[in-house]
């Protein structure tokens, strides 16, 4: 099956996108809710946690790993690929490639957690492909707690989103990468505040499309992963709020099984 | 020395208060920043983390333990006291006792993390002493990230504080317990939004006063703890933002030593 992990439950936006693209694949999700969030922590500790998370998924039988967390992808993506025999997908490269395909003026904005933005990985990957591209980043540390609280349509959230996006807006970006798997939850607000002309790149969707393209190229792998289209959900801590937010993202009730890491 | 721990760096408000009350005591602080926050997590996992934190402080030579975290006090306070030979102080009882001393109408508000509020511990402790008291609680999960971001005077913070305090204001509370060691950072905003007539109870200050009273009662313990008035700071993860917020709380630069738990 496909193993997917995130620091918490933001990565469920990736599960949702993967289920739409690959409805027959079995999946196992792990949310490290006992140590969430990753986005405010150092690259060293995030890389360490990402290793634990992957080992858990492999132990559960995953044959393909998806890092559904931009912070973990930024801190550990490259190294982790080399460490394991199974294919490992990080969330950043597909978003970068897609943004360069759709951008006209190559003025690209990126929003993410402080850890993701501080890593400079989006700028690097974008300029590796197109050295002429202009990249403007903004760390938005309060968006994860706002999304997890379910404050989607509140005026306070509008104000905070506007404040964070302001420096990107004045730079007249034409494309904005949502560089955190929580942000699709706030997509409508973000689109309204940055303006309807700016194209949003949802890293959950581009990641799912990327996995699908890969599996179409390797039909034997696809066949191995395709079974009943069932997903199991594991988390390292369970609370009521978590169950509620998970339900809101997936639009159905799921059982979050508690495991110790 | 006195060992103090918190889920992160909010507990530094307790260190500050302790240093003012007991300037000669040596202290060792531990902030579990690799797993912060505790306030959104389940009581089971918080109690487990609190045990690790105390074991670390004892290993560093602490002879008296201060739980500078309301969430940990709520989840683990009573059990932990029985587990260790050294005196263990939790942050809730002193705030409760003080609030009942200063309240006139016994209409007491309590704000805290979701975990603290859901535990119902403040209501229980207040009613154990005064069964007639009216207690109104409000979980304020966004105040910790706002305080840690340093968004102290921002209009967004004002709005969010007003929203959280509104249900307590309409109940005409006369006393408000700041049931999270982060909240003293936002004290001015909270006072303004709840109204100048409402007395604020800062659980950091009442805790420090409580430890002082205890040590005055047991001079041999006091003597054992009094030395150079130096404090060592340990954290399980270090970032720049953390160092900045620590500096803002303590109003001086301190060295945060990174340890693995």
Contacts of B45 in chain A (CB under 8 A): 34, 236-237
Answer whether 0.90 is exceeded by the pTM. Answer: yes
Same domain, B154 and B86: no
Query: How far, rounded to the nearest angstrom, does the alpha carbon of residue A260 sit from its chain's CA centroid?
Result: 23
The SS3 assignment for A233 reads strand
B180 is known as an active-site residue: yes
Same domain, A192 and A234: no
* Residue-range definition of the domain harbouring residue B170: 92-203
Q: What is the pLDDT of residue A52?
A: 95
Peptide bond into B37 cis (omega under 30): yes
Which residue in the set B142, B163, B237 is minimally distant from A41, CB to CB? B237
Q: Are A120 and A188 in contact (CB under 8 A)?
A: no
Q: What is the pLDDT of residue B97?
A: 98
Say which CATH number the domain at B110 has. Answer: 3.40.50.1860
The SS3 assignment for A206 reads helix
CA contacts within 13 A on the Cβ side of A118: 16
Q: What is the pLDDT of residue A166?
A: 98
**Closest chain A CA to residue B157:** A156
**Closest chain A CA to residue B259:** A45
Residue of B37, B29, B32 lying closest to B182 (CA atoms): B37
Q: Is A90 left (phi over 0), alpha (psi -120 to 50) or beta?
A: beta
**Closest chain B CA to residue A260:** B45
Ranges under pLDDT 50 in chain A = none
B140 is known as an active-site residue: no
Contact assignment for B40 to A141 by CB distance below 8 Å: no
Same domain, A116 and A194: yes
Same domain, B187 and B106: yes
Same domain, A190 and A96: yes
CA A215 – CA A223 distance, rounded (Å): 9
Same domain, B48 and B116: no
Q: How far is CA A68 from CA A40, A206, A207, A232, B173, in A?
A: 17, 11, 8, 15, 45
Q: Domain count for chain A, please give it.
A: 2
Same domain, B101 and B195: yes
Task: Give the pLDDT of chain B (261 residues) as one tens digit per residue.
Answer: 999 999 999 999 999 999 999 999 999 999 999 999 999 999 999 999 999 999 999 999 999 999 999 999 999 987 888 899 999 999 999 999 999 999 999 999 999 999 999 999 999 999 999 999 999 999 999 999 999 888 999 999 999 999 999 999 999 999 999 999 999 999 999 999 999 999 999 999 999 999 999 999 999 888 888 888 899 999 999 999 899 999 999 999 999 999 987
Q: What is the pLDDT of residue A82?
A: 86
Same domain, A248 and A149: no
Report, as residue numbers or ranges, the catalytic residues of A.
69, 180
């Amino acid at each position: 099956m496909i193993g997917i992990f995130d620091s918490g439950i933001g990565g469920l936006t990736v599960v949702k996108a993967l289920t739409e693209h690959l409805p027959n694949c079995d999946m196992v999700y792990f949310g490290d809710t006992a140590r969430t969030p990753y986005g405010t922590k150092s690259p060293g500790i995030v890389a360490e946690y990402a290793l634990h998370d992957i080992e858990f998924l492999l132990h559960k039988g995953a044959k393909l790993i998806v890092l559904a967390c931009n912070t973990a992808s930024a801190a550990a993506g490259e190294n982790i690929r080399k460490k394991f025999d199974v294919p490992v997908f990080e969330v950043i490269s597909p978003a970068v490639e897609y943004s360069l395909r759709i951008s006209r003026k190559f003025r690209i904005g990126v929003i993410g957690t402080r850890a993701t933005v501080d890593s400079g990985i989006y700028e690097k990957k974008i300029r590796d492909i197109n050295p002429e591209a202009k990249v403007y980043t903004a760390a938005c540390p309060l968006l994860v707690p706002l999304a997890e609280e379910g404050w989607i349509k509140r005026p306070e959230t509008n104000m905070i989103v506007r404040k964070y996006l302001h420096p990107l807006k004045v730079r007249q970006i034409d494309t904005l990468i949502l560089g955190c798997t929580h942000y699709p939850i706030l997509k409508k607000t973000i689109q309204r505040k940055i303006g309807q002309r700016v194209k949003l790149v949802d890293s959950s969707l581009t990641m799912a499309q990327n996995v699908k393209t890969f599996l179409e190229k390797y039909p034997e792998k696809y066949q191995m992963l395709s079974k009943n289209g069932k997903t199991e959900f594991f988390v390292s801590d369970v609370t009521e709020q978590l169950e509620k937010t998970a339900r809101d993202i997936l639009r159905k009730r799921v059982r979050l099984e508690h495991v110790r890491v």
